[in-house]
Structure 1
Amino acid sequence: MRNRFDGRALRALIATAACSVMLSGCGLIFQNHEKRADAVLQPTPGNATRGTITLIERADGVQVSYSLTDMPPNSDHALTVHERGDCISVNDPEASPVFALPPERRTASARSEGELGNIHADATGSATGFIVATDVSLDGVRSVISRAIVLHREALDPYASAPHNVGPALACGVIRR
């Protein structure tokens, strides 16, 4: 007796194979493509602070993860994003101001979008953690890509109604994709 392949069975087999091939490609299409950027902070002249910053865009804002070393022990420092991706002029507020949107695009907040928050160094002068920055993004008008991210000597005053001097930069890096 000869084995005969039923036409319907052959079509079902081909359809099943085609679906398998199509679905295996869906993983590439539907996987999470997070927006991410990084910066390597190098010490400014006369300082030793260094580390890495990773920025990942999330639904609630940009998560700014940091791992920093060689900071003064038990100290607080401001982390800011500056307009220009230039670490040479970060100590000159006129040459490299903190990132801020034009007044017509700003929220009612008194702080600039580039004022990310404060970082606390432990007794060994290290700091690891994250800040969620709700006023910036990794694309569009609020993008921090190609801007300088700076760790300052002093901390931001959370109750200040206007930007204030947070001291010179301890470390600086440029945010890159």
Structure 2
Amino acid sequence: MKQRIDGQAVRRFIVVAAASLLGLSLAGCAGFFGPHEKRADAQLVPTMGSAARGTVTFSERSDGVQVTYNLSGLPANSDHALQIHERGDCNAADGSSAGRIFAPAADELKPGARVEGDLGNIHADENGGATGFIVAPDVSLDGVRSILSRSVLILRDPSDPYFSSRSAGPALACGLIRQ
């Protein structure tokens, strides 16, 4: 017994099959060719005698690295430096194992030059919390100015961008920057 196949049904089947295959292949390409955001995170833990802690997220953008922070345990209504330091080491109780502030271009030697690792100052509210973001145009998540595998620190005092050799006080919290 021969079965007759309707021409319109065959065309519909071919169109549906082609659309499915095209959708599958484009979905695979989107994963390959689509935008890949470079991102890293740091979990900050308090140094000895401090209650400061939180998270800092780094996302690469066309104008630099967006540094988003969500912190707690800071002194109420206070300003603090947020800095990247050379070594990804927060093992010392006071955060000193993180080393010096990150400065790949040796800008710390030039008077009035802002060092790449000095991200700026943050403000804690009346509850000791600080949330917000900073765009750091002089660092990246790869290459010579990469901050990956380095440390991010919150320091007791605000930094002075015109005197980068001046200390911003002891570290309140330290975290390793990881992808």
State if a TM-score over 0.5 links the two structures: yes
**TM-score, with length taken from structure 2:** 0.83
Shift of 1:66: 0.5
Does the 8 A contact of 1:112 with 1:163 survive in 2?
no
Tell me if the contact between 1:71 and 1:121 (Cα under 8 Å) persists in the aligned partners. yes
Matched, 1:164 2:169: no
Counterpart of 2:102 in structure 1 is: 99
Task: Using the aligned pairs only, state the percent identity.
Answer: 52
Cα RMSD for the two superposed structures = 2.9
- Write the distance in 2 (CA, Å) between the matches of 1:28 and 1:107: 44
Distance 2:158 2:43 in 1: 21
Amino acid at match of 1:91: S
Q: Which residue of 2 aligns with 1:20?
A: 23
What is the letter of the counterpart of residue 28 of structure 1?
A: G
- For the Cα contact (< 8 Å) 1:111–1:163, is it kept in 2? no
Q: 1:25 to 1:121 in 2, by over 3 A?
A: same
SS of the residue 2:22 aligns to: helix
**Partner of residue 121, structure 1:** 124
**What letter corresponds to residue 120 of structure 1 in structure 2?**
H
Look up the SS of the partner of 1:67 in the other structure: strand
Q: CA 1:70–1:4 in structure 2 vs 1: closer, same or farther (change >3 Å)?
A: closer
Per-residue deviation, 1:102: 3.8
**Which ranges in structure 2 are unaligned for 5 or more consecutive residues?**
none
Q: Assess, with a 3 A threshold, how the Cα gap between structure 1 residues 16 and 107 changes in structure 2: closer, same or farther.
A: farther
Match of 1:90 in 2: 95
Q: Give the Cα separation in 2 of the matches to 1:2 and 1:109.
A: 86
In the TM superposition, residue 9 of structure 1 has moved relative to its aligned partner by 5.1
Tell me which residue corresponds to 1:72: 75
Aligned counterpart, 2:178: 176
How far 1:107 moved relative to its partner?
Answer: 10
Maintained 8 Å contact 1:42/1:171 = yes
Judging changes above 3 Å, is the alpha-carbon distance between structure 1 residues 107 and 145 closer, same or farther for their aligned structure 2 residues? farther
Structure 1 residue 4: Cα displacement: 6.5
CA contact (8 A) 2:95 2:173 kept: no
How many residue pairs match? The answer is 172
Change (3 A) 1:125 1:22: same
Stretch deviating more after TM superposition (28-37 or 66-75): 28-37
- Tell me how far apart the structure 2 counterparts of residues 16 and 91 of structure 1 sit (CA, whole Å): 60
